[in-house]
Amino acid sequence: MEFKAKEIAEILGGTVDGNPEVTVTSFARIESGKPGTISFFANPKYEQYVYTSKADVIIVNKSFEPKEPVQATMVRVDDAYAAVAALLDYVTAKKRSYKRYRGCRSKVRWSAKVGKKVYVGDFAYVGKHSQIGDYTKIYEHVYIGDDVKIGSHCIIYPGVRIYPGSVIGNNVILHANAVIGADGFGFAPLEDGTWKKIEHTGNVIIEDDVEIGANTCVDKSQMGSTIVRQGVKIDNLCQIAHNVEVGRNTVMAAQTGVAGSTKIGEHCIIAGQVGIAGHLTIANNTTIGAQAGVLGKVRKEGEVLMGSPAFNLNDYMRSYAIFKRAGK
């Protein structure tokens, strides 16, 4: 990577405040910037570092008005946080090379259809009648079962297991050891106290632009499909149970578990270690705080929930104040 400040501004649709010819070769956090690096400033609590950072270029919001002299060249954009994400995408795309490769120790069944410039690493397996889209990269030790459909420009990291019949869209990223399409946790109690397994005959559908973290599991449905909608981002170590639907552009942090047949709305934010009971509906734009337990339907859009069982944040804070006083 090597860019001049004026090139960065052109890529991001911004303006240069300072030396447009200064060159950077790597990224750095603003508090640890050094010569030759580019940083960004979006959170007001880090403003002190704008004046002390050694970075040569800092991406800032157009509205930022410095209170002290700034040594770095500033690239002013509408949204610094979104701009640095776009610049990282741009740099990654330029580094990424697309070439057809099939490891000599991989196995692609003869009936599978593989698009152009697909990478299949050693010890990867692609099952019968599966389809792999153009420019997709399948790393080493990946298992892809029969009748799986994977779109273009996907990245499937080592150790991922994709069960038969799963459908994966374009630009999907599955991190190491994610499991897509395992049986859901469904058992019927019998009179003798044992449990009878309920067969799961459905599948998993993952739409475009989804990212799923390492060691996360998305279970297939009993009937129909478990669906992860377009733009969803799921962190590491999460559990999505059978027949769940996760709405578009919802984000979910690590160690969250969603029980079977729950429908989560669009643009929801679910923090770490949240537990969501089964057969619920979560309204659009709901925010659920860390370690909350959701036991009932969330009908009102835009609510912020905390606690276990979870309820409205304002009520929770008033209740918490009473809890603290009661313990003294």
CA distance 63 to 216: 40
Counting beta carbons within 10 angstroms of the beta carbon of residue 190, is it exposed (0 to 12), middle (13 to 18) or buried (19 or more)?
exposed
SS3 string, the chain, reads CCEEHHHHHHHHCCEEECCCCCEECEECCHHHCCCCEEEECCCHHHHHHHHHCCCCEEEEECCCCCCCCCCCEEEEECCHHHHHHHHHHHHHHHHCCCCCEECCCCEECCCCEECCCCEECCCCEECCCCEECCCCEECCCCEECCCCEECCCCEECCCCEECCCCEECCCCEECCCCEEEECCCCEEECCCCCEEECCCCCEEEECCCCEECCCCEEECCCCCEEEECCCCEECCCCEECCCCEECCCCEECCCCEECCCCEECCCCEECCCCEECCCCEECCCCEECCCCEECCCECCCCCEEECCCCEEHHHHHHHHHHHHHHCC
- The dihedral built from the CA positions of residue 323, 297, 249 and 220, taken in this order, carries a sign that is positive
Q: Is 141 a catalytic residue?
A: no
Q: Which residue of the set 153, 175, 242, 279 is catalytic?
A: 242
The set of catalytic residues is 242
